[in-house]
Structure 1
Amino acid sequence: MADRVLVTGGTGGIGGAIVRRLAADGYPVTFTWRSDEATARALAEETGAEALRLDLADRPAVTAFAEGLQARDEAFYGFVHNAGATHDALAATIDIERAAEVMQVNLFAFMALVKGVVRGMTAARRGRILAIGALAASRGIVGNGAYAASKAALESYVRTLMTEVARRGVTANVIAPGWIDTAMAGETPPVLAKSIPAQRLGKATEIAATVAFLLRDEAAYVNGTTLTVDGGLGGLLAATK
């Protein structure tokens, strides 16, 4: 398989799992990292992936990176926007500058990188664009205002993108995880895990497996949707409103 895939945020818990799964499936992978050089180098050595440093909060750097993607001889088959930022605060006390950074990383960087890869995909008439969203985008969760807003905007953008690229053989979808057992989730009280219908937190490898499925030819008819991977938590929250 020679279809190269770009993954942002490759050194995180979910990002690392995605890079490992796609490399194991035979995809040549390029992943970005921001600050953890040691982990990035180790992951690249382990998987044979290409590791590129990029701070998604740096808008000029992202623009230059996206332009570099367009100039590459090799077109990308897949793009997985996994990197994310958060700012936890009550909705009425949100720091606007911090919220703007969340929007830059979670949404605007994604938009810029789509510009960098989508022309090659539409020219080839095949491609997969995936964004890692969040259950918070569709559920009211205290303190998640900025993060949830960015992920909800991400979903809206992906739906619009789909209408513009589907006829060219390109799909654009969102994967919305619930509580996943990673360092970003922090120490999770056992009572929280027990409140999930599946009775446990999700695994990063389960998100990676979902990414792998949506990259396959068999998923070509899945387009413009948000696929929730949350152990049933979203359905439970909806039922108890």
Structure 2
Amino acid sequence: MNTVAVVTGGTRGIGEAISLALRDAGFTVAATYHGNVEKAEEFKARTGIHVYKWDVANPDECAEGIARVEAELGPVAVLVNNAGITRDTMFHKMGWDQWRDVMSTNLDSMFAMTRPVIEGMRERGHGRIINISSINGQKGQMGQANYSAAKAGVIGFTKAIAQENARKGITANVICPGYINTDMVAAMPEKVLESIIATIPVGRLGHPEEIGGLTAYLASEAAGFMTGAVLTINGAQYIANG
């Protein structure tokens, strides 16, 4: 079985934990990044994981990037669409650029990244697509109309491609993390962070490694019968129906 895994936004935060978990599970990992070259090179030196720079919102860059990964490492067996951004503000103050930037990176990237790998997966009769949504794509969040809409769209996209590709040996699943202890969350004002934790029944933030472990399971052969699933990992902060 081919063991090349691509993780978008794979050098920092949740993406870093996913890259490490897949590496430890035996995959050859290609972690993509867009902005911070210094951080990406430090990550590569520390972990031995391959890094590639491109913009997941740009379909031409994605196609070129996937072609380069496959030429250097081999056919992509696992795709983790993790990269995402926020441009938070109340909707009545939101500008088109704030809406469009988030939609491009968080939702259009589903097409831009998945389209270059899906035909190869279908031809080989095997593949794993794992998309990272959010608790706020399930329940909505004040000040995040753009982000919530994009992350909800990720769920619909995943359910559709799960049905289309199931008979070709390809699974597609969604992980919806709650509040995870990353640098971005840790940078919140202490009182804000305390108020968030107070709404989480388990009484703490999630660990990035917990998302990584779930991703590694979904990428494994043991998860071959799980497809079209929406998996919440939020400490019971929000429990979706069904």
TM-score normalised by structure 2 residue count:
0.90
- Report the residue type matching 1:204 in the other structure: P
**1:126-141 equivalences in 2 (<5 Å):** 126-141=126-141
After superposing the two structures, state which structure 1 stretch, 79-88 or 43-52, moved more.
Answer: 43-52
Distance 1:30 1:68 in 2: 11
1:228 alignment partner in structure 2: 232
Question: Is residue 56–residue 112 contact of structure 2 (8 Å, CA) maintained in 1?
Answer: no
Q: Aligned Cα RMSD in Å?
A: 2.0
Question: Is residue 69–residue 117 contact of structure 1 (8 Å, CA) maintained in 2?
Answer: no
Rate the CA distance shift 1:69–1:163 in 2: closer, same or farther, 3 A.
Answer: farther
Rate the CA distance shift 1:2–1:127 in 2: closer, same or farther, 3 A.
Answer: closer
After superposing the two structures, state which structure 1 stretch, 44-53 or 183-192, moved more.
Answer: 183-192
- Report the residue type matching 1:233 in the other structure: Q
For residue 43 of structure 1, report the CA deviation from its aligned partner. 1.8
Distance 2:62 2:95 in 1: 23
* 1:211 maps to which of 186, 193, 215: 215
Aligned to 1:173, the other structure's residue is in SS state strand
Q: Unaligned stretches of 5+ in structure 2?
A: none
Distance 2:10 2:73 in 1: 23
Distance 1:234 1:12 in 2: 25
**1:68-147 equivalences in 2 (<5 Å):** 68=68, 74-147=74-147
1:45 alignment partner in structure 2: 45
For residue 45 of structure 1, report the CA deviation from its aligned partner. 2.4
Q: Unaligned stretches of 5+ in structure 1?
A: none
How many residue pairs end up in the alignment? Answer: 237
TM-score normalised by structure 1 residue count:
0.91
Rate the CA distance shift 1:60–1:216 in 2: closer, same or farther, 3 A.
Answer: closer
Rate the CA distance shift 1:69–1:110 in 2: closer, same or farther, 3 A.
Answer: farther
2:166 paired with 1:197: no
Q: Identity of counterpart residues, as a percentage?
A: 31
Distance 1:73 1:202 in 2: 32
- Report the residue type matching 1:172 in the other structure: A
- Deviations along 1:180-208, whole A, 9 cap, x unmatched? 11122232522321220110010100000
For residue 74 of structure 1, report the CA deviation from its aligned partner. 2.0
For residue 96 of structure 1, report the CA deviation from its aligned partner. 1.4
For residue 9 of structure 1, report the CA deviation from its aligned partner. 0.3
- Report the residue type matching 2:108 in the other structure: F
